[in-house]
Amino acid sequence: MYNTVVTHPEGCRISPQQHLGHGAPYSSDSMQSVHFPRAELIEYDRQRYVTRKLLGHLERGVLVRANQEGIFIKRLCQSRVFWSGLGDGSSQYGSMPGKLQRDSVVKIFDTGRFFQALQLYQEGQIPAPDPSVTLCFGEELNDLSSAKSKLIIVQVRCVNSQQNS
């Protein structure tokens, strides 16, 4: 498990630790780099092997950026990436899993919808909204209860939304 705060105004690239080189296509010179932990740290041989293989398909990673409107993501890697959060296409105030298409920018967290849900929660109408987005790399994410059994999971949350909930 790894925890980091992204402070770069252009956002971050989440990818394996392979260095793409300065100025290389898809390099992250203008963004903060966030790397997955190395597969060598995994205790079980089979899980380490499968994770290492999956990391090979994540080389280009994903680009993540946040602003007042929400959190946006762009998938560059070969591997499938699934997400769950209060973004475009979700049910009204719940989290519905979605699949990221390559090279498309997707709003995976909508700040306005979060604050609407927070207001309804304060009025006792709905459960507390989740200020985080879950990303699952290489495996389908049917619901958040299955997230713990996945190889690579990333949780993204806006610090501003977390402070307000």
- Expressed as residue numbers, the domain containing 141 is 12-164
- The per-residue pLDDT for range 86-134, each reduced to its tens digit, is 876 555 555 567 899 999 999 999 999 999 999 999 999 999 888 889 9
Whether 83 has a pLDDT exceeding 70, the answer reads: yes
Give the residue-averaged pLDDT of 10-14: 92
Q: Is residue 6 part of a domain?
A: no
Which of residues 145 and 153 earns the better pLDDT score? 153
Length of the chain: 165
CATH, residue 153:
2.60.200.10
pLDDT of residue 158: 77
Q: Where are the alpha helices (DSSP H) in the chain?
A: 45-56, 111-122, 159-164
What mean pLDDT value characterizes the chain?
83
Q: Is residue 160 part of a domain?
A: yes
Residues 6 or more apart whose CB falls under 8 angstroms from that of 81 comprise: 62, 75, 99, 100, 135, 136, 137, 138
Instruction: Provide the number of structural domains found in the chain.
Output: 1
pLDDT of residue 107: 92
